[in-house]
Amino acid sequence: MEKTFSVLNPFTDANGKTKFCITCGNKATKEALFIVGDGAILVEKYCDTCAEREIK
């Protein structure tokens, strides 16, 4: 699946549920949106360090 980066937003825990970075497992602080085709959008959560690496 090819994903094209769209936008990076700050992420805060909602309803007390902690989310974790999909790359390293640390607490997520950023939410990245990727367009994957046919109008589908993939939402992935990252820590600050991994977000900078993934988006480049």
**Residue owning tokens 């046919």:** 38
Each residue of 1-56: pLDDT tens digit? 788 999 999 998 878 888 999 999 999 999 999 999 888 999 999 999 999 988 77
Torsion over CA of 44, 49, 9 and 36, rounded to 10 degrees? -30
CA distance 14 to 5: 23
Q: Is the pTM of this model over 0.85?
A: no
Domain ranges of the chain: 4-55
